[in-house]
């Protein structure tokens, strides 16, 4: 559909969305209380706020994992090589996958018990081996229920992204974490990339001044997953077909949210406006493919737009452009842009423009010039563990660094780098964007999963 062919009612919705985004805060009814998301449920009696929560030290961490497909098997291998880990349990619906993962872990000196063949085998694992930490790498729709069950069983829960697919699931996760006193962390690996850590350090040191705006994305042509047998594409494809919004926001959003200290003392998510393009690419790919996981997908009615574009506004009025596209034939990017009063840092390709540092307001510092500046702000964590992380692997080492930090924090009794509320805020973009798209781009308020306590939560520091 060409822009000129958009029905007048949809054009009005688009204009309304833009007007709602750029209007002053007072012009939006209820925006002054956006940080409470309207009707915020009361914290349960005896529950504890978990923003800066640190659990008791664990001399060794008994680890179990649910799901050892493409993603989970990598996590299992990396966790098995971290000092202080006792790998005690592996669960997967597919018995062959579970046994293969166990064989690899056994080579690292562990003796995990294997659970498989039953949709509830993971529940049996939780009850029998009582792990300290459970890592979850399963389809999106069961992340929340598994996190909740793990915490209820006494374990800290670590979920692949997103942590929830509905707002109610996110609230249930928060309430369970607060009631049990257990961590529940979104495993957002991109926050541990070298470039993202450098930019976090630069922002914390005030190099680009007061933060105003960010840009984040996950643009990655993954149509080929539709031929992935019983792996990721076999269940993600149905999400693309049934849902229309930004279903996978956290890889781009996580780092930008931490640069801005959202939900951590300085600022918080307030509202989102979201629009999707027409849905064309998945159906075209399905019709041309001869090796689909499910031949019925040739006739599947794909509802999700090929690209979703959202704009988030924070309580302080700062903005984030957020995009998601796993369909279009275009190069990979997460954008990774953060802009302040003194300069801008950006990724894909890496470049900087900093007042008084780079040579011209009309040129980016790139390549060797970028590296010269970046080297001065290498993150201490990367200095300490970067070479080990690159050798261990996992998306260039960021997976290992993330898992290493999880275990390190649990053993030292320190707060995690990402708390339960951040995972829920970042994941909430999914259902909120779907609702905004369904309402022709009407703004949607973020719930305040912290119930106002974000104002006293410490920003993520620069970990030495």
Residue position matching structure tokens 């996580």: 254
Q: What is the mean pLDDT of residues 369-384?
A: 98
Same domain, 143 and 228: no
Question: Could you tell me how many residues make up the chain?
Answer: 464
Count of the separate structural domains present in the chain? 2
Q: Tens digit of pLDDT for each residue in 54-95?
A: 999 999 999 999 999 999 999 999 999 999 999 999 999 999
Separation CA 84–CA 61 (nearest Å): 6
Same domain, 214 and 173: no
In a domain, 26, yes or no: no
DSSP letter, residue 162: P
Structure tokens at 243: 């849902």
Separation CA 178–CA 180 (nearest Å): 6
Check residue 18 and give its pLDDT: 36
Check residue 190 and give its pLDDT: 98
pLDDT at 33 over 70: no
pLDDT at 8 over 50: no
In a domain, 266, yes or no: yes
Lowest mean pLDDT among 349-363, 384-398, 442-456: 349-363
Q: Tens digit of pLDDT for each residue in 239-271?
A: 999 999 999 999 999 999 999 999 999 999 999
In a domain, 16, yes or no: no
Same domain, 195 and 182: no
In a domain, 182, yes or no: yes
**Measured torsion, CA atoms of residues 172, 176, 182, 186, in degrees rounded to the nearest 10:** 0
CATH number at residue 301: 3.30.360.10
pTM over 0.85: yes
Same domain, 171 and 99: yes
Separation CA 270–CA 87 (nearest Å): 40
In a domain, 6, yes or no: no
172 closest CA partner among 139, 199, 145: 145
* Cβ contacts of 314 within 8 Å, gap of 6 or more: 260, 262, 267, 268, 269, 270, 320
Check residue 464 and give its pLDDT: 79
Same domain, 301 and 412: yes
CATH number at residue 152: 3.40.50.720
Single out the residue in 160, 187, 214 at which a domain terminates. 187
Same domain, 295 and 316: yes
Same domain, 452 and 390: yes
183 falls in which pLDDT band (50, 70, 90)? very high
Check residue 32 and give its pLDDT: 32
pLDDT at 296 over 50: yes
Mean pLDDT over each residue of the chain, to the nearest integer = 92
Single out the residue in 149, 169, 187 at which a domain terminates. 187
Judged by DSSP in three states, 444 sits in strand
In a domain, 53, yes or no: no
Same domain, 273 and 287: yes
298 contacts 267 by C-beta, under 8 angstroms: no
Check residue 463 and give its pLDDT: 87
In a domain, 287, yes or no: yes
Check residue 27 and give its pLDDT: 34
Separation CA 264–CA 211 (nearest Å): 15
Give the phi and the psi of residue 340 in degrees, each rounded to 5. Answer: -130, -175
44 contacts 179 by C-beta, under 8 angstroms: yes
401 falls in which pLDDT band (50, 70, 90)? very high
Same domain, 76 and 141: yes
For the chain, what percent of residues have pLDDT higher than 70?
Answer: 92
Single out the residue in 187, 209, 228 at which a domain terminates. 187
pLDDT at 12 over 90: no
Same domain, 110 and 223: no
pLDDT at 448 over 90: yes
pLDDT at 13 over 50: no
Q: What is the mean pLDDT of residues 444-463?
A: 97
Check residue 51 and give its pLDDT: 98
Q: What is the mean pLDDT of residues 189-196?
A: 98
Check residue 453 and give its pLDDT: 98
What domain range is 216 assigned to? 191-456
Same domain, 150 and 86: yes
Q: What is the mean pLDDT of residues 6-13?
A: 38
Q: Tens digit of pLDDT for each residue in 95-143?
A: 999 999 999 999 999 999 999 999 999 999 999 999 999 999 999 999 9
Same domain, 169 and 274: no
201 falls in which pLDDT band (50, 70, 90)? very high
In a domain, 241, yes or no: yes
Lowest mean pLDDT among 28-32, 108-112, 303-307, 349-353: 28-32
Check residue 342 and give its pLDDT: 97
Residue position matching structure tokens 């309430």: 175
């Amino acid at each position: 559909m060409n822009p000129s062919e958009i029905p007048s009612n949809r054009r009005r919705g688009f204009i309304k969305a833009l007007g709602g985004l750029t209007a002053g805060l007072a012009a939006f009814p209820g925006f002054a209380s956006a940080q409470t998301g309207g009707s915020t449920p009361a914290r349960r009696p005896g529950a504890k706020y978990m923003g800066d929560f640190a659990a008791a030290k664990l001399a060794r961490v008994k680890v179990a994992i649910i799901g050892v497909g493409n993603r989970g098997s990598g996590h299992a291998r990396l966790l098995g090589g971290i000092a202080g880990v006792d790998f005690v349990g592996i669960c997967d619906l597919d018995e062959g996958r579970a046994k293969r993962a166990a064989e690899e872990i056994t080579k690292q000196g562990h003796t995990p018990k294997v659970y498989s063949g039953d949709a509830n085998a993971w529940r049996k694992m939780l009850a029998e081996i009582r792990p300290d930490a459970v890592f979850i790498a399963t389809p999106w729709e069961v992340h929340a229920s598994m996190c909740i069950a793990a915490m209820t069983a006494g374990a800290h829960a670590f979920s692949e992204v997103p942590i929830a697919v509905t707002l109610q699931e996110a609230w249930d996760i928060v309430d369970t974490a607060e009631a049990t006193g257990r961590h529940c962390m979104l495993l957002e690996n991109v926050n541990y990339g070298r470039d993202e850590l450098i930019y976090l350090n630069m922002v914390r040191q005030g190099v680009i001044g007061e933060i105003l705006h960010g840009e984040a994305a996950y643009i990655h042509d993954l149509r080929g997953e539709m031929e992935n047998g019983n792996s990721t594409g076999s269940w993600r494809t149905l999400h693309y077909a049934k849902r229309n919004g930004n279903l996978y926001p956290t890889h781009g959003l996580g780092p930008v949210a931490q640069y801005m200290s959202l939900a951590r003392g300085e600022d918080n998510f307030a509202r989102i406006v979201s629009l999707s393009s027409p849905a064309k690419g998945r159906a075209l790919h399905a019709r041309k493919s001869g090796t689909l996981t499910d031949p019925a997908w040739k006739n599947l009615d794909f509802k999700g737009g090929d690209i979703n574009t959202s704009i988030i506004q924070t309580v302080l009025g700062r903005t984030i452009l957020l995009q998601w596209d796993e369909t279009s034939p275009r190069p990979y990017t997460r954008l990774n842009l953060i802009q302040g009063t003194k300069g801008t840092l950006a990724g894909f390709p890496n470049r900087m423009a900093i007042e008084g540092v780079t040579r011209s307001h009309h040129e980016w510092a790139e390549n060797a010039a970028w590296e010269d500046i970046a080297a001065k702000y290498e993150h201490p964590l990367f200095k300490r563990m970067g070479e080990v992380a690159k050798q261990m692997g996992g998306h260039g080492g960021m997976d290992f660094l993330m898992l290493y930090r999880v275990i390190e924090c649990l053993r030292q009794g320190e707060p995690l780098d990402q708390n339960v509320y951040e995972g829920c805020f970042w994941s909430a973009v999914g259902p909120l964007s779907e609702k905004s798209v369904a309402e022709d781009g009407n703004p949607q308020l973020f719930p305040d999963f912290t119930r106002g306590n974000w104002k006293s939560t410490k920003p993520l520091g620069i970990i030495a």
